[in-house]
Amino acid sequence: MTMLEIIEKKKLGKELNKEEITFFANAAAEKSVPDYQLTALLMAIRLNGMTDEETTALTLAMRDSGDVADLSGIPGIKVDKHSTGGVGDTTTLVLAPLVAACGAPVAKMSGRGLGHTGGTLDKLESIPGMRVGLTEEEFIHQVREIGVAVVGQTGHLAPADKTLYALRDVTSTVDSIPLMVSSILSKKLAAGSDAIVLDVKTGTGALMQNLEDSIHLAQIMVNVGTLAKKPTVALISGMDEPLGTHVGNALEVKEAIDILSGRAGGDLLEVSLTLGAHMLMLAGKAETKDEAVKMLRDALESGRGLNKLKEMIRAQGGDPAVCDDVNLLPQAPVKKTVLCGRDGYVKCMDTMALGTAGQRMGAGRARAEDQIDYSVGYILRVRVGDKVTADTPLCELHARTEADAEAAEQAIRAAIGWSDAPCPRAKNFHALVTAEGITRL
């Protein structure tokens, strides 16, 4: 068996067998064949697709190309949550402590931000002293002791994905659904959880901006997760505006703390409760969504969720005092309130442009090696469908310089569409996808 034979077979639209797919994944992990052959096969897959069985085989081969975390020493059903990426998406920092406070262990490996999307690890590292680089032993011990840990990838997980993802980024094959699915799920499966809740975004700030494309992606991920014997459900959630009102690392941590403290709510809380409810159901802690949401609200209102976040921060070397005084988080030197400057209704938002505005302020990366300024970003004071006047606050900018603030103001204004007539609110959820089928919401 050679890579040339495998490329030729997929070029002609034929189905690859498990052995051929495993050969490909191992070659990527070990870098034992030239990049040009790997990219030739990536393009053949992009053009001719893969069956669910092929995608499952590729996912499992990529999972097995490196270490697979063994979480069997942690009691209970471990449920992971993965988002396909968005702006102001701080759900992990809200739902992880709430779900753990309800008795379901949360052993979560997260990533960093790139481009217009924010990364959970970057947000956590804005907390003074917070450490996300735990060893696998430390990771497992922490979840056993306090029920929750959110860290970077431990060990040598899915090295085939690291190679293939870098090649996809420069060969216009990022949008291949089989390659997307195998990339996401190989890492989730290697992280060792027993079940998976997927948050598949759709809208102007999502990788998939068309609803039907997002549903199709979710269906395939659920099918592959199920074939891999990991119970998997997916929710299609909206990204036609930032999920939270805060965009930027320390600002998003502040919003999560505000929610867990009962000082804030809104769409970020609603989405976190829904995703957390499905995690509790897969973990066997609740029979119905209503029962699970009630458990989460009890944990919120009693303060157990906030206390669990404090425990996690303390266990990972951070200062839990930020949960009592958010001013201990990094503060930007320039703060400026911007007004709407007109009467009317917020019609729409280019959410990708809003994410890019934050990234250009220094809150995100254009390249993996870029340094982040944890303090910068903005608080968006309007939502789609809001009625405003000229004096209504549009946003509050947190910038390094006046020039950065001015540039961000212009970018944010350009990303928002207005109407003189009332406009509908953006939807938080569009569909639920399970192994049994699709439920439109």
Per domain, the residue ranges of the chain are 3-63, 79-324+430-435, 330-419
Per annotation, catalytic residue among 108, 168, 230, 278: 168
Residues 6+ apart with CB under 8 A from 325: none
pLDDT in single tens digits along all 441 residues of the chain? 899 999 999 999 999 999 999 999 999 999 999 999 999 999 999 999 999 899 999 999 999 999 998 899 899 999 999 998 889 999 999 999 999 999 999 999 887 776 677 789 999 999 999 999 999 899 999 999 999 999 987 778 899 998 998 898 788 888 899 999 999 899 889 988 899 999 999 999 988 889 999 999 999 999 989 988 999 999 999 999 999 999 999 999 999 999 999 999 999 999 999 999 999 999 999 999 999 999 999 999 999 999 999 999 999 999 999 999 999 999 999 999 999 999 999 999 999 999 999 999 999 887 777 889 999 999 999 999 999 999 999 999 999 999 999 999 999 999 999 999 999 999 999 999 999 999 999
Q: Which CATH number fits domain 330-419: 1.10.10.10, 1.20.1510.10, 3.30.2130.10, 3.90.1170.30?
A: 3.90.1170.30
Residue 81 bears catalytic tag: no
Q: Which CATH number fits domain 3-63: 2.130.10.10, 2.30.40.10, 3.80.10.10, 1.20.970.10?
A: 1.20.970.10
Task: Find where tokens 């096969």 sit.
Answer: 41
Per annotation, catalytic residue among 65, 83, 126, 183: 183
Residue 297 bears catalytic tag: no
Task: Find where tokens 């929610």 sit.
Answer: 259
Residue 161 bears catalytic tag: yes
Per annotation, catalytic residue among 78, 162, 187, 365: 187
Q: Which fold has domain 79-324+430-435?
A: Pyrimidine Nucleoside Phosphorylase; Chain A, domain 2 (3.40.1030)
Per annotation, catalytic residue among 10, 63, 78, 82: 82
Per annotation, catalytic residue among 64, 80, 89, 161: 161
Contact 276, 241 (CB under 8 A): no
Instruction: Please state the pTM of the whole predicted model.
Output: 0.92
